[in-house]
Amino acid sequence: MASNKPYIPCGPCQEGKVNTEAEIWCNNCDEGLCSVCSSHHKRSRGTRNHKTIYIKRYNPSIPAIKTECDKHGQQLNLYCPSHLMPCCDECISTSHSKCTGIKSLADVVEKTKIEKSTQSIEKQIDSIKHFLDNLIENKSVNISRGEQENKNIKKLIVNIREKINNYLINLEKKLCNEADTILNQEKSKATDLIAEIKEKQKKIPEMQDHLHTVISNSSKLQSFLEVHQIEQQVHQCQRYVEDLENDDRAKEFHIKMKQNDEIEKILVKLQSLETLGEVMVVKTDIDLKRDTSVKREAQVESREQSNINNMTMNIETKIDLNLKCIISDIICLMDGRVIVVEECGKVYLLTSNGKLEKQISISSAAFSVTQINQNTIAITYPGEEAIKIFNMDSETVTKVITLNKPCFGLSFSNNSLVVGLWRDEIRIIDLEGNTLKSIEVQSESLLYHLVYCNDRVTYSDSTSNSVYCVDGSGKQIWDYKQDLKGPLGLCTDTYGNIIVADKSTDRIIVISKDGQNSKVLISKDEGLKNPQCICLKPKESSCYICDRYGEHLAKFNLSSE
């Protein structure tokens, strides 16, 4: 029976114009070898360690890995440890000119432990698959929950309307009952008066008849006396009629209503009321139990620990801001844009190139800012003693968390906010404003700058020229005071090392995660002046530094050899 495997010639024999079928496949050389050439291949110093397989096991449908640069067509002969990628000479000169620690690709391959890297990658694949499966399940549940929440919102809207209707119905009944009562009272008074008048009217015909009788049948004396008596009765009736003119019962009544002055105000407000509320989407981070122990590793060397002695900071660009105000905070958003906060003032949004995009439409007197998710930030307001959650898409404040102290520095991690209150408390709260932990500290300066990472809070005390690190219980892990003078802005790299803007010495300093070592990354010799705030782009090495008066924004590249 004919084999389904395609015919594969021996590469070296083919070069010698000899057509021989290959028995072995060399993955390194990416060609087949006959038995004779395979024997030479195994004995040669340069190829004896190459990975080979029997030709029956070779699957030509799997594309061969190119050893040439797709962009420049040159041989991949160098390796950049900063970007974890092989490069050609042209790549190094154009795209990696500022990267340090460039190595020979051959040396890197020689030292690489492929099996260990393969196992690590396999774990990453399993972790990603598990994560995505969990995410699909979570979003399916999320959709069902969203549908139920939508039904609940509609019930709530109907309930609001019913409450308003019921309240108005009660007011209507009350006023109608009051109108009925008043009408009945007036009707009773009028009916009584009519009955009284009718009784008086009965005497008038009697007086007339009596008067006619006296004139025709009586003597003059008798007539005089009878007329006088009738006259007295007429006078009484006359007085009764005169009294009726002033009697309140005889007055004509009208049932009217004086409208409550507040009704017009309410109607005006109702006309300006465009909605009974706002239906919004509140995004929160979810814990999908992703295996965080599996991290991206370089095939060449482990990057789980970073030696700060190998860290370098190189200036990439310097942008003129000319904000002409004291800067209190700066962060780099997940999409690469930058937010700069004027001390107790305005909030500015910059493009990734440092150009002013717009002033964020939120009240002034802001101090510190942190990002919660892709489209949500949180800002502290010391004067209002509050944190405001702000949706950048709708440009609206979605929540205000009130505190009992002036609040300054702000950081977000593990779905929690950490805020510096005055100079004696660091408070950890959830996004609803509930206090999770309260850490007492004794800072000589106000808690302007802090960072929350790996359940640790690191904060600077510019007055005592110190940087402190405490755990969630408030226990001090370390303090660093060596050679600092006016430490202000802080940020942390992916390894937990703390990068500090030391304003009075015009330096950027990195402090190791354990607080035992430090290194000056950049100083005034490189043109740094009055560094106030510093931030790193999430999960990347781009670093932004803003000076105290908002004159310049400097973009740096942070790397480790």
In a domain, 143, yes or no: yes
- Give dist(CA 402, CA 384) in Å, integer: 8
- Regarding whether 394 and 327 lie in a shared domain, the answer is yes
- With respect to residue 126, please indicate whether it lies within any of the assigned structural domains: yes
Residues 6+ apart with CB under 8 A from 279: 153
Tell me: do 239 and 313 sit in the same domain: no
Tens of pLDDT along 121-142? 888 888 888 888 888 888 888 8
CB environment 40-65: b (16+ within 10 A), e (fewer): ebeeeeeeeeeebeebeebeeeeeee
Report the mean per-residue pLDDT for the chain. Answer: 86
How far is 283 from 289, CA to CA, in rounded Å? 18
Query: Both 190 and 322 in a single domain?
Result: no
Domain-embedded: residue 108: no
The reported pLDDT for the residue numbered 354 is 86
Q: For residues 556 and 533, what is the distance between their CA atoms, to the nearest angstrom?
A: 13
pTM assigned to the model: 0.51
Token pair belonging to 315: 């200036």
In a domain, 356, yes or no: yes
In a domain, residue 506? The reply is yes
* Euclidean distance between CA atoms 15 and 13, whole angstroms: 5
- 408 lies in some domain: yes
Q: How many CB atoms within 10 Å of residue 544? A: 24
Q: What is the side-by-side strand order in the sheet with 487-492?
A: 487-492, 498-502, 507-511, 518-522
Token pair of 456 as six digits? 């640790």
Distance CA 406, CA 36 (A): 83
Last residue of a domain, one of 23, 48, 65: 65
Residues 5 and 148 in one domain: no
Beta strands, E only, 263-320: 311-320
Indicate whether 227 and 339 sit together in one domain: no
For residue 343, what is the domain's CATH number? 2.120.10.30
Task: Decide if 559 contacts 542 (C-beta within 8 A).
Answer: no
pLDDT tens for 144-155 read: 888 998 898 888
- 416 and 508 share a domain? yes
Distance between CA atoms of 372 and 382, rounded to whole angstroms? 20
* 433 and 532 inside one domain: yes
Q: Do 312 and 461 share a structural domain?
A: yes
Is there a domain that residue 297 lies in?
no
Q: How far apart are the first and last CA of the chain?
A: 58
Joined tokens for residue 390: 């702000």
CB 48 within 8 A of CB 33: no
Number of structural domains the chain divides into? 3
Beta strands in 307-406 (DSSP E): 311-320, 327-332, 338-342, 347-350, 356-359, 369-373, 376-381, 386-391, 396-402
Stretches where the chain sits below pLDDT 70 are 1-5, 61-66, 214-218, 282-306, 561
Residue at 194 is within a domain: yes
Q: Are residues 166 and 24 in the same domain?
A: no
Among the three residues 245, 263, 294, which one is the final residue of a domain in this structure? Answer: 245
> What is the number of other CB atoms lying within 10 angstroms of the CB of residue 545?
25
* Domain range enclosing 152: 118-245
Report the distance separating Cα 168 and Cα 24, nearest Å.
92
Last residue of a domain, one of 207, 228, 245: 245
Q: What is the pLDDT of residue 221?
A: 78
Q: Which residues contact 520 (CB under 8 A, 6 or more apart)?
A: 507, 508, 509
Q: Do both 440 and 332 map to the same domain?
A: yes
Domain CATH code at residue 54: 4.10.640
Q: 413 and 333 in one domain?
A: yes
My answer on whether 362 and 487 are in the same domain is yes
Q: What sign results for the dihedral spanned by CA atoms 412, 413, 416, 422?
A: negative
| Tokens 């803003």 belong to residue | 546
